[in-house]
Amino acid sequence: KCGMEPTIVPAAVIFLHQLGDTGHRWAEAFAGIRSSHIKYICPHAPFRPVTLNMNMAMPSWFGVIGLSPDSQEDESRIKQATENVKALIE
C-alpha cells in the first residue's frame, strides 16, 4: 500500500499524479516494482476548481490558468504544494 506512515528508509519515491488523477492508481502501478528498501509515497491532490477546465473541481496540486508559456501561474498554490512535498520528505 502506498502510504504516508512516518518511517525512516534508505530511499523513497514521492510520486505526484497528474491533473484530475489520484495517488491510488499509481500506488497500484508501483506495487509491481516494490523493494524492501524503497518507500513509495503517492499523495492525493486536493479537489479544487481548475480555471483551465471551466472551474470544474478536480484533484489538482495547483490551479492551471492557461497552457501558454506566458499564462499566469497559481504561485500561492504552487508554493503550498512545494511545502506539502517538503513535509513528506521531513
Every domain of the chain and the residues it spans: 11-89
> Residue 12 pairs with which residues in a beta bridge?
39
Give residue-wise pLDDT tens across range 69-88: 999 999 999 999 999 999 99
Give residue-wise pLDDT tens across range 9-42: 789 899 999 999 999 989 988 988 888 888 899 9
pTM of the model: 0.77
Nearest to 41 by CA among 26, 59, 61, 20: 26
